[in-house]
């Protein structure tokens, strides 16, 4: 049997083995950026579902409009515009199967087989998988402490053949936790316009800021219709709802909606209705609790890494989201380091998995503090720290 070129890159991805490894209950799982069970608004979801099933069952269970329900789109618009004007009147909102689906729709919208997509280096590994499965050629752009390196970006935007899209994660980036500075957000919009390269801004962690001021989305600075923004309910309600959205200007937005409709008509009507009610009733109490939870865990992990690690180890300081990116000095054997951590029951994701190119040289790994309690954070950081002293001599 022959498999298509779409699936071949996925067979070699580390995702399957990473998931298989996680079945051991004694592991401390710092490898996955999932919300913890206690973060789900279960009672509210149950009450809304019961009420709607009693009062309006057919609208929960019937087909809805391709591209998503109008009431949910209106709720998303209000939610996104409540801090900064993000959704304009000529923007089109498409309800997607999580932000993940918006990534593949964007590649479908802008790219033909073999076209180049620029992305941060490192970036979200499941986005790399999705884009590779669509036969895109991925080119990584260097990262700095405040997000993508603009000089490298501009150089790569001038490549031949011309890149067809830029994929960026603007707040609390996966895997580095880095937040894109405001001046870079503006500059990215200008570069996108100058080189006519559309941008997909992926921002599922935006609401999880626990330090510093909220910065407007990249999309807020776009005056030329070059930026689509995707986010989802996964990190603020529950990932199993599979409700996300992409907001894009004019024809670009229409393109997303048409592609979504042709992919699977629309997402679950039930989940769309529940999310719509949650947004309309308000999610602020839940968001405050989530920010407290992640803020506590993120600060604790950062402090413990500083306490236990070898002084030559560098790690990012999270202002939100779920991730810390740890980097050992050049030449450290990262696969061996990660395997040895696993032998000690601590699971992290080796940095090489997050690079479009040359990942094998990475001496970094990603930590997520979303699922670990205080005792697990302390114990795992102490194990990590001890191992850094062995590897950084």
Ligand X SMILES: Cc1ncc(COP(=O)(O)O)c(C=O)c1O
> In terms of Cα–Cα distance, which of 336, 321, 310 is closest to 368?
321
Convert residues 200-219 into a mask of x (bound to ligand X by CB under 6 A) and - (unbound): --x-x---------------
Check residue 318 for interaction with ligand X (CB under 6 A).
Answer: no
Stretch of residues binding ligand X (CB under 6 A), selected from 98-106, 134-142, 340-348, 368-376: 98-106
Closer to ligand X by Cβ: residue 238 or 301: 238
**Euclidean distance between CA atoms 312 and 204, whole angstroms:** 32
Chain centre to alpha carbon of residue 204: 5
**Euclidean distance between CA atoms 345 and 306, whole angstroms:** 21
Check residue 124 for interaction with ligand X (CB under 6 A).
Answer: yes
- Shortest reach from residue 204's CB to ligand X, in Å: 5
- Shortest reach from residue 393's CB to ligand X, in Å: 34
Stretch of residues binding ligand X (CB under 6 A), selected from 96-104, 139-147, 258-266, 338-346: 96-104
- Shortest reach from residue 76's CB to ligand X, in Å: 13
Burial 238-257 (b: 16+ CB within 10 A, else e): bbebbbbbbbbbeebbebbb
- Shortest reach from residue 22's CB to ligand X, in Å: 15
- Shortest reach from residue 371's CB to ligand X, in Å: 13
- Shortest reach from residue 384's CB to ligand X, in Å: 22
Instruction: Rule CB under 6 A: choose which of 98, 225, 249, 320 binds ligand X.
Output: 98
Instruction: Rule CB under 6 A: choose which of 239, 253, 267, 320 binds ligand X.
Output: 239
CB 217 within 8 A of CB 229: yes
- Shortest reach from residue 307's CB to ligand X, in Å: 28
Closer to ligand X by Cβ: residue 229 or 387: 229
Convert residues 147-186 into a mask of x (bound to ligand X by CB under 6 A) and - (unbound): ----------------------x----x------------
List, in order, residues 6 or more apart from 374 with CB less than 8 Å away. 297, 300
**Euclidean distance between CA atoms 148 and 320, whole angstroms:** 18
Query: Which residues are registered as beta bridge partners of 315?
Result: 326
H runs (alpha helix) in the chain: 8-11, 15-21, 42-55, 57-61, 70-81, 98-110, 125-133, 150-157, 182-195, 250-264, 269-281, 284-308, 334-343, 374-391
Closer to ligand X by Cβ: residue 92 or 233: 233
CA angle 254, 257, 198 (to 5 degrees): 60
**Euclidean distance between CA atoms 68 and 126, whole angstroms:** 24
Closer to ligand X by Cβ: residue 141 or 309: 141
* Residue 368 exposure: Cα atoms within 13 Å on the Cβ side: 21
Q: What number of residues does the chain have?
A: 393
- Shortest reach from residue 308's CB to ligand X, in Å: 27
Check residue 33 for interaction with ligand X (CB under 6 A).
Answer: yes
Check residue 198 for interaction with ligand X (CB under 6 A).
Answer: no
CA-CA-CA-CA dihedral for 106, 155, 362, 26, to nearest 10: -30
Using alpha carbons, list the distances in angstroms from residue 391 to 162, 312, 326, 368.
Answer: 42, 11, 14, 22
- Shortest reach from residue 105's CB to ligand X, in Å: 12
Stretch of residues binding ligand X (CB under 6 A), selected from 232-240, 328-336, 343-351, 354-362: 232-240
- Shortest reach from residue 70's CB to ligand X, in Å: 21
List, in order, residues 6 or more apart from 147 with CB less than 8 Å away. 120, 168, 170, 173, 178, 179, 180, 181, 184
- The token pair at 243 is 């409700």
Residue nearest to ligand X (CB): 98
Closer to ligand X by Cβ: residue 110 or 337: 110
Check residue 234 for interaction with ligand X (CB under 6 A).
Answer: yes
Convert residues 240-279 into a mask of x (bound to ligand X by CB under 6 A) and - (unbound): ----x-----------------------------------
Residues in contact with ligand X by CB under 6 A are 33, 98-100, 124, 169, 174, 202, 204, 232, 234, 239, 244
């Amino acid at each position: 049997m022959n498999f298509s070129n779409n699936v071949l890159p996925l067979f070699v991805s580390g995702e399957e083995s990473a998931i298989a490894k996680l079945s051991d209950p004694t592991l401390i799982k710092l490898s996955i950026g999932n919300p913890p069970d206690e973060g789900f608004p279960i009672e509210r979801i149950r009450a809304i579902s019961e009420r709607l099933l009693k009062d309006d069952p057919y609208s929960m269970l019937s087909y809805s409009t391709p591209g998503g329900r109008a009431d949910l789109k209106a709720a998303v618009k209000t939610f996104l515009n409540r801090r900064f004007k993000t959704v304009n009147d000529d923007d089109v909102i498409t309800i997607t199967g999580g932000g993940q689906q918006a990534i593949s729709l964007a590649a479908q919208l802008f790219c033909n087989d073999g076209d180049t997509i620029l992305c941060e280096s490192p970036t979200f590994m499941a986005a790399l998988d999705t884009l590779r499965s669509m036969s895109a050629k991925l080119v990584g752009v260097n990262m700095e402490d405040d997000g993508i390196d603009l000089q490298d970006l501009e150089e790569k935007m001038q490549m031949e053949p011309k890149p067809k899209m830029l994929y960026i994660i603007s707040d609390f980036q996966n895997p580095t936790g880095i937040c894109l500075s405001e001046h870079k957000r503006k500059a990215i919009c200008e570069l996108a316009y100058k080189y006519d390269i559309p941008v997909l801004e992926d921002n599922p962690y935006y609401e999880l800021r626990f330090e510093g001021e909220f910065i407007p989305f990249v999309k807020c600075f776009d005056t030329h219709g070059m930026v689509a923004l995707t986010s989802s309910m996964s990190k603020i309600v529950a990932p199993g709802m599979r409700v996300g959205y992409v907001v894009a200007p004019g024809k670009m937005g229409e393109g997303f909606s048409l592609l979504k409709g042709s992919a699977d008509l629309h997402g679950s009507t039930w989940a769309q209705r529940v999310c719509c009610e949650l947004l309309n009733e308000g999610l602020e109490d839940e968001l405050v609790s989530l920010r407290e939870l992640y803020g506590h865990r993120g600060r604790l992990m950062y402090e413990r890494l500083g306490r236990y690690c070898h002084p030559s180890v560098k790690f990012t300081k999270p202002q939100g989201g779920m991730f810390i990116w740890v980097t050992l000095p050049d030449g450290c054997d990262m696969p061996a380091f990660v395997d040895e951590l696993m032998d000690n029951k601590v699971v992290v994701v080796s940095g090489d998995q997050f690079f479009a190119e040359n990942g094998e040289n990475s001496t970094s790994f990603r930590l997520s503090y979303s699922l670990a309690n205080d005792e697990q954070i302390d114990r795992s950081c102490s194990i990590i720290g001890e191992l850094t002293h062995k590897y950084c001599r």
